[in-house]
Each structure stands twice: as structure tokens, then as C-alpha cells.
Amino acid sequence: MTNGFETRQYIAFKLGEEEFAFDIASVKEIFPTQNITKVHRSPEYIEGVMNLRGRLVTVIDLRKRFRLEAAAADENSRIIVIDSRDAPVGFLVDEVTEVAKIGADSIEPVPAYVAEGIESEYVLGIAKIEERLITLVDPMKILELSSDDARTNGGGSVGDSPGR
């Protein structure tokens, strides 16, 4: 607690030069990139599936999800696994920078304009720490919107008859 404001812990990570963070409470595990199996014909932002102790876990490329410039994964890349409502989901990020303690007093509300490509719905606020600006994102919100997408866009089979 600082000055009576609540301080929470966040997992800060980078996508290109920009810094983002998830509330630590929503993060289950962090892995170095391992074998990710590509799923062809899936929505573009889905990197593939990985084997998490016998479960198939979908990995979402957060760069693509935020419509940032694509980049190949390297040794710094990490998969942040979030425990979502029905199944864990992984987010591929460029680099996990730190566990940041951020007080509520240093979080600014979302400005009317937001970083290009990032729908304002995901963004909880912008934290200012010294010279750094960290965008706080709600991973659950990203998932909600992603599944809706997958259902409407990727769901070519919905309207087709199975009987033909």
C-alpha cells in the first residue's frame, strides 16, 4: 500500500517496443516457447496448440491479436498461460520483463484515443512508472472477443449441411 492506494502485482511483457501487463492473479504459468503445433485454417492470430501436461492448449499470438507487426519467436519469447473459464489458454509474447508492483495511483484511465489496433475493450488503464508507459490488459476480455471471432469468421461449417 502506498498513500492509501492499493498496489497490485502485474506480469509485464513486451510486444515490440511497447510494454503491456496482465494482473498476476490471472496468470497461471509462464513457459519458454516450446513445440507449438500449427493449426491450419484457424483464425490468423492463433499460433497453434501446445501440450500442457496432456492437455491441448490453444496459443494466441498477441502481436497478431493486437494487429501489430508480426515477428518470429526467438529465445526471449514466452507463453503466458491464463486460466480462462473453460480451458487454459496461452498468449505468445516477445519477452516477459518483470513482475511489476503498480499502485492504483499511478494508473491513468484509458484515454479516448488508444494505441492503434488495440481495441479499447481490452485495456484497463495505462500505468506510468518513471519514464515507462505500461498498458494494462484484461486477458479474459481478449479471449471473449477472440472466441466470438472464431465462431463467426472461422466457423465456416456452421451453415453447411453435414448430410450432403
Partner 1 sequence: MSDEIDLAKYTKLFVAEAREYLRTLNKAMVEFESRPDDTDMVEVMFRACHTDKGMAGMMNLTPISETAHALEDLLNSVRERKIKPEGEVAELIYRCLDTLEEMITSVERAEELSEVPGLNDDLRDAARGGRRRKKKKGAAVKAVREKTLKTSPPAKRTVLFIRFSRRCSFPAARSFVILKEVARAATIHGTVPSEEEIDKEHVFEELSITLEPEKGFDETVRRIASMLDIDEIKVGEEGVPVDRWKRIVAAKPSAPQAVDLPAAQTIKVGMNKLDELLDDVSELVIARSRLVEKTTSHDDRELTDITSHIDKLTSEIQAKVLGIRMIQIESVMARFPRMIRDIAKNQGKEIEFTVDGGSIELDRTVIDKISDPIMHVLRNCVDHGIESKKERKKTKKRIRGHIRVVASKQQDHVLIEISDDGRGIDYDTIREKAVDAGLLTREQADDALARDLMELLFHPGFSTKKEVSQVSGRGVGLDVVRRAVEDLGGSVMISSSKGAGTTFSLWLPFTLAIIDAMLVSIADQTYAVPMGMIAESHRFQTSEVKTIRTREVVQLRGEVIPLIRMRSFFGIPEANDRSTLSALVVQSRERRAALAVDDLMAHQQIVVKSLDDHLRRVRGVSGGTILGSGRIALILDVDSILEA
Alpha helices in 18-118 (DSSP H): 62-65
| Contact criterion met (CB below 8 Å) for 36 and 96 | no
- For partner 1, which is the closer residue by CB, 61 or 94? 61
- For partner 1, which is the closer residue by CB, 51 or 120? 51
Min dist. Cβ of residue 49 to partner 1 (A): 6
Longest distance between any two alpha carbons in the chain, whole Å: 68
In angstroms, rounded to a whole number, what is the distance separating the alpha carbons of residues 102 and 128? 9
The C-alpha cell that represents 57 in the structure block: 492448449
- For partner 1, which is the closer residue by CB, 3 or 161? 161
Q: Rule CB under 8 A: which residues touch partner 1?
A: 35, 37-43, 46, 49-51, 54-58, 60, 86-87, 89, 146-147, 150-151, 154-164
Strands 132-137 and 78-83: unpaired
Min dist. Cβ of residue 137 to partner 1 (A): 18
Min dist. Cβ of residue 57 to partner 1 (A): 8
Min dist. Cβ of residue 5 to partner 1 (A): 36
The C-alpha cell that represents 12 in the structure block: 509485464
Min dist. Cβ of residue 77 to partner 1 (A): 19
In angstroms, rounded to a whole number, what is the distance separating the alpha carbons of residues 80 and 142? 13
- For partner 1, which is the closer residue by CB, 41 or 116? 41
The C-alpha cell that represents 150 in the structure block: 472464431
- For partner 1, which is the closer residue by CB, 112 or 158? 158
CB atoms within 10 A of CB 37: 11
